[in-house]
A = this chain, B = another copy of it.
Amino acid sequence: MAHDLDPIDHNIVRMLAEDARTSYAELGRKVGLSPSAVAERIHQLESAKVILGYRALLDEKAFGYSVMAFIRLTCDNTHYRPFLKFLPTIDAVQECHHITGGEAFLIKVRLSSIDQLEPLIERLLPYGMPTTSMVLSTPVYRQQEAWLLRHAGFPSRTRKK
Give A contacts to B, CB under 8 Å. 1-3, 5, 13, 16-21, 48-65, 68, 70, 84, 87-88, 91-101, 104-107, 110, 133-148, 150-152
Contact = CB atoms under 8 A, between A and B. Distances in A.
A80 to B, nearest CB: 11
A75 to B, nearest CB: 12
Say how many copies of this protein the assembly contains.
Answer: 2
* Interface of chain A: mostly helix, strand, loop or mixed: mixed
A122 B141 CA distance: 22
Contact of A95 (B5, B52, B141): B141
Given A139-B98, A148-B58, A53 B1 contact: no
Contacts of A139: 84, 87-88, 96-98, 105
